A and B are shown apart, each in its own frame.
Chain A
Amino acid sequence: MNKNSPFQKIGRLLHSMKLGIVLLILIAAACVAGSLILQNQIPAYYVANYGEGGARIIQGIGLDRVFSCWWFLLLTALLCLNLALCSVLRFQTNLRRGRLGAWGPWLCHVGMLLLIAGFALGQRFSLETYLYGVPGETHEIEGTDYTVRIDDFQIDLREDETVEQYTAWLTVADSQSGRQQSGIAQVNAPFGVFGLKLYQNSTDWACQVDVERDGVQEESLLLCVGEILTPASMPELSLVFGKFYPDYAYTEEGPVSRSARLDNPCASFLLYYDGELIASEVVGIGHEIVAEPYRFVFHDPQPYTLIQVIRDPFRWLAALGGLTILVSLPLCFYLRPKKEGGQDGEGDEKQ
């Protein structure tokens, strides 16, 4: 075949170092843009911060979601192709040379391929979901046959009231086989079970809320901060649990909590009727919120836990990639060159 045919030229380009460098520059530039422009915000954010024209450009070319945008994925795919072709071509050359150091760059490329493959497969096939609740509650893990029971939840405070550790005692059950296993999830120490990892992600407060209509209790339910309560018999009315203050005080900066102790517990709420805000206040725990014919009473505050559940079957592949890169670098730098600086006659156009 003609060495200068278009196919040959494209082939040479695809495994050339020049293309690899150009791709790295473009990926680095995309990363800079993706870090300077806040990602995955609502359109109004970009209009407010960059003006109508700026927002149109940012959203038009995907700078608001760089790392999942088609052109970023295309650049990464091309880089992988470049690395793969280069690795294949270099394999035989390295075998002929027979020097350990010559395998450094090859291993580094293979490690990068494994890492990117592990990350991409993990993004595509991993499971990530959240659940929250208070001790005694059981929740299904979305997309699986498993349930999680929150056996207990504890926040350890130091003397200065800063948090030392959050601990959740959990029991995960497989609804198919009936197997179950209990364990502890703490910050920096997830609970691994049945191929899942459960992380103690966050916490906030929940209150029991009594709902009365015309003096008769209609229901009593647990409401977490951020949740909305809508009475069944009056769907136009909504009560939003805004924030909880264990030790409420009003300062120049607005409402604050002086400590984490339940010394003056208060809840801020918002009341909507037919989508319109009709009240927004902070009330003490046990006090009534009146919206005729309804009365709401917040009581029995307790912290709830937010648990993050992850299953990434390709994490090992990314870990193998990272390890391979780490092993490859000493070979590249300290075993490879005859002369320092790598001038050992490998100054070819290929990687």
Chain B
Amino acid sequence: MTAEMFLQAENGMFTVAVAAYLAAAVLYFVFLAVKKERAGRLAGLIFTAAFAVHTLALVTRGVGAGRLPFTNQYEFATSFAWGIALCYLIFMRKYRFRALGAFVAPVVFVIIGYAAMQSREVRELMPALRSNWLAIHVSTAIISYGAFGVAFGVSMLYLFRGRMGEDAFHQRELPDRERLDLISYRAVSLGFLFLTLVIVTGAIWAERAWGRYWSWDPKETWSLVTWIIYAMYLHVRLNRGWKGKKAAWFAVIGFVCVVFTYIGVNTWIPGIHSYA
């Protein structure tokens, strides 16, 4: 198979993944709103299938492009969505918590939808991007952003949980608020650990490529802002027992910062990361 054939195959698989994530998001919503158990099971299956196709699409693009698919807006957006989907599946298995999909699947769909609007052209890498640190830096970002995406979904669910009332379905399908709070904390701590890795590996790479490990570039600065927000969340939570609504809002604001760091900074603020 030629590179072009791989890229064509990726194109098809990407479209299938987008459609499947959308279908899963709708079914998760039906599951939660209409309380249809079957819709939930089907949503879980479709989401898992979408993830599998999405993974295959990324691998195919990597083969077609001859490198890891981490180097432009399209590639990082689709990888970002993949990271959230991966973290969701891990958390869903660990905590046996399917309803989280109602809040995470739409986020995955929006981000992969954003990817669909970007140029999918494969370009040769500029010299600054030809580094092994690219793979480490971006793959840690995918896990970090993925975990924060899950924390965002859990926190949104936490904020809505009070309004949902209590019945047999909710008791069976939704963890209580204390557990939701704990899951959100677990996701944030995983994301924070990886965000720190993102910043450290980015600094090492920047030192090699630009001579300075920190130059207050807007992307660096917004990563720091995001780090500070989650650091505050973890601080007040670990030391002062801050939980519940306030913690949930922190996780939501943190994820807004994550999205701005990725999309907003690249779109509106010029800097040395502008090629990303």
> Is this pair of chains taken from one and the same complex?
yes
**In this assembly, does B265 line the interface, its C-beta being within 8 Å of a C-beta of chain A?**
yes
User: Interface residue count for A (Cβ, 8 Å)?
Assistant: 57
Contact B243 A341 (CB under 8 A): yes
**In this assembly, does A292 line the interface, its C-beta being within 8 Å of a C-beta of chain B?**
no
Question: In whole angstroms, how far apart are the Cα atoms of A275 and B269 in the complex?
Answer: 35
Binds B, one of A5-13, A31-39, A254-262: A31-39
Q: Please, what's the 1-or-0 string for B100-139, where 1 marks a CB less than 8 Å from any CB in chain A?
A: 0000000000000000000000011011101100000000
Task: State which residues 15-58 of B face A: CB under 8 Å.
Answer: none
Contact A25 B232 (CB under 8 A): yes
Report the nearest B residue to A333, measured CB to CB.
B189
On chain A, the residues within 8 Å of B238 by CB distance are 105, 332, 336-337, 341-342, 346
On chain A, the residues within 8 Å of B192 by CB distance are 329, 333
On chain B, the residues within 8 Å of A323 by CB distance are 200
Main DSSP-derived SS at the B contact region = helix
Contact B240 A17 (CB under 8 A): yes
Report the nearest A residue to B242, measured CB to CB.
A347
Report the nearest A residue to B224, measured CB to CB.
A31
Binds A, one of B76-84, B161-169, B206-214: B206-214
Question: In whole angstroms, how far apart are the Cα atoms of A119 and B213 in the complex?
Answer: 9
Question: In whole angstroms, how far apart are the Cα atoms of A21 and B189 in the complex?
Answer: 18
Question: In whole angstroms, how far apart are the Cα atoms of A304 and B182 in the complex?
Answer: 58
Given A25-B232, A188-B208, A332-B238, A163 and B218 touching (CB < 8 A)?
A: no
Task: State which residues 303-338 of A face B: CB under 8 Å.
Answer: 308, 310, 315, 318, 322-323, 325-326, 329-330, 332-333, 336-337
On chain A, the residues within 8 Å of B270 by CB distance are 38
Contact A197 B211 (CB under 8 A): yes
On chain B, the residues within 8 Å of A340 by CB distance are 182, 185-186
On chain A, the residues within 8 Å of B218 by CB distance are 35
Given A35-B222, A119-B214, A187-B209, A351 and B193 touching (CB < 8 A)?
A: no
Report the nearest A residue to B189, measured CB to CB.
A333
Given A28-B225, A199-B211, A163 and B126 touching (CB < 8 A)?
A: yes
**In this assembly, does B65 line the interface, its C-beta being within 8 Å of a C-beta of chain A?**
no
B residues near A (Cβ < 8 Å) are: 123-124, 126-128, 130-131, 181-182, 185-186, 189-190, 192-193, 196-197, 200, 203, 207-214, 216, 218, 221-222, 224-225, 228-229, 231-232, 234-241, 243, 265, 269-270
Can you list 8 A-B pairs with a CB-CB distance of less than 8 A? A32-B225, A35-B221, A163-B127, A310-B212, A318-B213, A326-B196, A341-B238, A341-B243
